[in-house]
Amino acid sequence: MSSHRIRLTVNGVAREILAPANRTLAQLLREDLGLTGTKQGCGEGDCGSCTVLLDGEPVNSCLVLAVQAHGHEVLTIEGLAQGRELHPIQQAFVELGGIQCGFCTPGMILSAKALLDKTKRPSQEQIRRALSGNLCRCTGYQKIVEAVSEAGRRLSRGRR
């Protein structure tokens, strides 16, 4: 099996990793870089728990080969907080009960970030559509939608 020298930016830091061809981006993040905030659920692109932002757009990192991420920029859940201060989306999830078991949360928050980066004050429908690739088995969707909506309000007021 071929192995590849992969250069990519993860959470703003340039990284270089030697990885076999069959390494997924999810594995590279979790196993090579120890960034276990990215969760691996179904492994086939249905659940969205492994969602990360690739050049700002949400993707299922279980269905991206690490070698395909060469030269690109990845944002994981670990890249959101500034020191001990949570990102406004994270803070809204905590305050509004958008987190139950927490397994879907990193993916939900990254999908929400991709939405809010483009649409400052999304409608409920826009939020639901943006999160439609993220499953919450605790079924806490309503609180999650409310948290994203509140995060949008806070971000558009420029508060952190």
Partner 1 sequence: MLLPKFDYHQPRDLPAACGLLAELGPEARVIAGGTDLLVNLKHGRIRPKALVGLERLEELTGLDSGRGRLFIGARTSAAHLAASRSLGGGLRLLAQAAGQLGSPQVRNRATIGGNLCTARPAAELPPPLLCLDARALLAGPQGQREVALSAFFKGPGLTVLGPDEIMRGVVIPRPGLGGGGAYLKLGLRRAMEISLVNVAAFLQLAPDGRTIAQARVALGAVAPTPILSPRAAQALIGQRAGDKLFAAAAEAAARDARPIDDHRGSAAYRRDMVRVLARRALEQAWDQARGRRGGKS
Instruction: Work out which of 18, 101, 124, 132 binds partner 1, going by CB under 8 A.
Output: 132
User: Does 16 help bind partner 1 (rule: CB under 8 A)?
Assistant: no
User: Does 111 help bind partner 1 (rule: CB under 8 A)?
Assistant: yes
Instruction: Work out which of 10, 67, 109, 147 binds partner 1, going by CB under 8 A.
Output: 67
Output 48 or 79, the one with its CB closest to partner 1. Answer: 48
CA terminus-to-terminus distance, the chain: 47
Output 58 or 88, the one with its CB closest to partner 1. Answer: 58
Contacts of 1 (CB under 8 A, 6+ apart): 20, 21, 22
User: Does 82 help bind partner 1 (rule: CB under 8 A)?
Assistant: no
User: Does 86 help bind partner 1 (rule: CB under 8 A)?
Assistant: no
Burial-class residue 121 by CB neighbours within 10 Å (0-12, 13-18, 19+): exposed
CA distance 100 to 90: 13
CA distance 127 to 104: 16
Output 37 or 58, the one with its CB closest to partner 1. Answer: 58
Instruction: Work out which of 17, 63, 86, 138 binds partner 1, going by CB under 8 A.
Output: 63
Q: Residue 160 CB, nearest distance to partner 1 (Å)?
A: 26
The helix (run of H) or strand (run of E) holding residue 90 is: helix 88-95
Q: Residue 84 CB, nearest distance to partner 1 (Å)?
A: 29
Tokens in use for 149? 């909506």
CA distance 36 to 157: 32
Residues that bind partner 1 (CB under 8 A): 1-2, 4, 20-22, 24, 43-46, 48, 51, 54, 57-60, 62-65, 67-68, 111, 114, 129-130, 132-134
